[in-house]
C-alpha cells in the first residue's frame, strides 16, 4: 500500500496509495521536473493529508488538498469500494452530479477509508526566492499581505511569526532575525517574473514600515529558513522544558486578521502564559501554541479558556473555528455554532447513510446522538 499506481506527467496528475508520503512523492517527481506543492510541514501520508484536507505554507498560491484532489478510492463501512469521481477518472473539472470527492476530503476518516488518492501536480518553477522582513506591528505586517494580494502579485508563500515566535526561533535555530512581527515570503516563477514580484513586494513592505528584505536565493538557505518556520512547534516545547501546548488555529476574512491577532495576543499576555502566534496570513489562517505546565492544572485551564475565546472570536468575525487542523474531538463544541443545527443534522444524515453503525472514527466531528 505504498505505491505510486498511476503517473501521467503530461496530464499533471498522479495516483498514490496510503503509504506514499509527501516527501516520497516529491523525490519521485523531481527527476521529471514536477512537484506536489501542498506542504503542511510534516512528511505526512498523502491519503492522510486528503482525509484531513491538509494545507500549509504554499496554500496561498497552490490551494489546500481540497483544491488538489481529483479523485479518491474509498472503502466504506460495509466493505464496498468506490471512487468518488468514478473509476479511473482524473479530469481537472466536472459538473457531473454531487461533488463526492470534496465530501470525503477533510472528512477525518469518519465516512470511509481512503485507499488511493489522485492528485494534481505542477511543474517545478524555474526560480524560487525567499525573503524575511520585520515590521513594527502585526497590523503593518498583515496590511502588507493584503496589499500584496490586492496588487495581484502571485506570491507563493507569505507567513507571519510574531515577536514571541521569532525570539524562540532565533534562540533554537541560532538565527539572528529581528525580534518583531515578521513576514516570511517566497516567490516562484521565471527569473524575470520573480525579480519583478519581489521588487514590487519589497516596495509595499517599505511603504508600511518594513525592514529591508533579507534574501535567501540558494536551496540550502531557503530550506533552512522554512525549516525554522515549520519546526516552531518543537521549538516552543524545547524552549519550555517539561511543558506541553494546546495547538489551535482559526481562519477569518483577511481584513479581520489584525484585530483578531491583537486581541488574542492581549488575552495571552494578561493570562501570564506563553503563547506565540503565527500563521498563513495569505488566507487569513493563524495558529497559536498555548504553553502550560502539566503539573499546574490552573495553567491548562487558562490555555483552554484562551483557545475557546480565540475560536468564538473568529466565529463572531464570520470566520471558522478551524482553518486546517480539523474538528476531531477538541472543537466539536464550536461546530454547531459555525454550521447551525440544520447543518449538523445534514452532516449526521450523511454519516448515518454511509456508516449506520458509526464504526468509522467514532466520536469525532460530532457525537453519535
Could you report the per-residue pLDDT of 9-62, keeping only the tens digit for each?
999 999 999 999 999 999 999 999 999 999 998 889 999 999 999 999 999 999
Counting residues of the chain whose pLDDT is more than 70, the rounded percentage is 100
Q: What is the mean pLDDT of residues 118-140?
A: 97
Counting residues of the chain whose pLDDT is more than 90, the rounded percentage is 92
CA distance 369 to 363: 10
At 217, list the grid cell: 536565493
Give residue 302's pLDDT: 98
Give kind and range of the element (H or E) at residue 70.
Answer: strand 69-75
| pLDDT score of 196 more than 90 | yes
For helices 191-207 and 138-150, what crossing angle results, to 10°?
A: 140
Q: What are the structural domains, with CATH classification, of the chain?
A: 4-123 (3.30.465.10), 127-230 (3.30.70.2190)
Q: What is the mean pLDDT of residues 134-159?
A: 94
* Residue 368: pLDDT band with limits 50, 70, 90: confident
User: How does pLDDT run across 61-103, given as a tens digit for each residue?
Assistant: 999 999 999 999 999 999 999 999 999 999 999 999 999 999 9
CA distance 304 to 273: 11
Q: Considering the chain, what is the average pLDDT of its residues? A: 95
* Residue 369: pLDDT band with limits 50, 70, 90: low
CA distance 173 to 152: 33
User: How does pLDDT run across 299-318, given as a tens digit for each residue?
Assistant: 999 999 999 999 999 999 99
| pLDDT score of 8 more than 90 | yes
DSSP 285-343: EEEEEEEE-TT-HHHHHHHHHHHHHHHHHHHHTT-BS-SSS--TTTTHHHHHHHHHHHH
Amino acid at each position: 500500500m505504498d505505491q505510486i499506481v498511476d503517473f501521467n506527467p503530461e496530464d499533471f496528475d498522479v495516483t498514490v496509495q496510503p503509504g506514499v508520503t509527501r516527501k516520497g512523492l516529491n523525490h519521485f517527481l523531481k527527476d521529471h521536473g514536477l512537484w506536489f506543492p501542498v506542504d503542511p510541514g510534516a512528511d505526512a501520508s498523502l491519503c492522510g493529508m486528503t482525509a484531513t484536507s491538509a494545507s500549509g505554507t504554499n496554500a496561498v498560491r497552490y490551494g489546500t488538498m481540497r483544491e488538489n484532489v481529483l479523485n479518491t478510492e474509498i472503502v466504506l463501512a460495509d466493505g464496498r469500494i468506490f471512487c468518488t469521481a468514478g473509476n479511473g477518472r482524473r479530469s481537472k473539472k466536472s459538473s457531473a452530479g454531487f461533488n463526492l470527492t470534496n465530501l470525503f476530503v477533510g472528512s477525518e476518516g469518519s465516512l470511509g477509508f481512503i485507499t488511493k488518492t489522485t492528485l494534481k501536480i505542477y511543474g517545478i518553477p524555474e526560480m524560487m526566492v525567499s525573503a524575511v522582513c520585520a515590521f513594527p506591528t502585526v497590523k503593518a505586517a498583515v496590511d502588507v499581505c493584503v496589499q500584496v494580494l490586492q496588487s495581484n502579485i502571485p506570491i507563493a508563500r507569505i507567513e507571519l511569526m510574531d515577536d514571541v515566535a521569532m525570539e524562540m526561533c532565533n534562540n533554537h535555530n541560532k538565527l539572528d532575525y529581528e525580534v518583531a512581527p515578521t513576514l516570511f515570503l517566497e516567490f516562484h516563477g521565471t527569473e524575470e517574473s520573480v525579480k519583478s514580484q519581489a521588487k514590487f513586494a519589497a516596495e509595499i513592505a517599505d511603504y508600511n514600515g518594513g525592514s529591508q528584505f533579507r534574501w535567501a536565493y540558494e536551496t540550502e538557505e531557503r530550506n533552512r529558513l522554512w525549516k525554522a518556520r515549520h519546526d516552531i512547534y518543537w521549538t516552543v516545547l524545547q524552549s519550555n522544558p517539561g511543558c506541553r501546548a494546546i495547538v489551535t488555529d482559526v481562519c477569518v476574512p483577511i481584513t479581520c486578521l489584525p484585530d483578531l491577532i491583537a486581541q488574542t495576543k492581549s488575552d495571552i499576555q494578561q493570562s501570564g502564559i506563553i503563547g506565540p502566534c503565527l500563521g498563513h496570513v495569505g488566507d487569513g489562517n493563524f495558529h497559536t501554541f498555548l504553553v502550560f505546565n502539566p503539573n499546574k492544572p490552573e495553567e491548562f485551564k487558562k490555555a483552554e479558556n484562551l483557545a475557546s475565546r480565540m475560536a468564538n472570536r473568529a466565529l463572531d468575525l464570520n470566520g471558522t473555528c478551524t482553518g486546517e487542523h480539523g474538528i476531531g474531538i477538541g472543537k466539536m463544541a464550536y461546530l454547531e455554532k459555525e454550521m447551525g443545527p440544520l447543518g449538523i443534522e445534514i452532516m449526521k444524515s450523511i454519516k448515518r447513510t454511509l456508516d449506520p453503525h458509526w464504526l468509522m472514527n467514532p466520536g469525532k466531528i460530532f457525537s453519535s446522538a
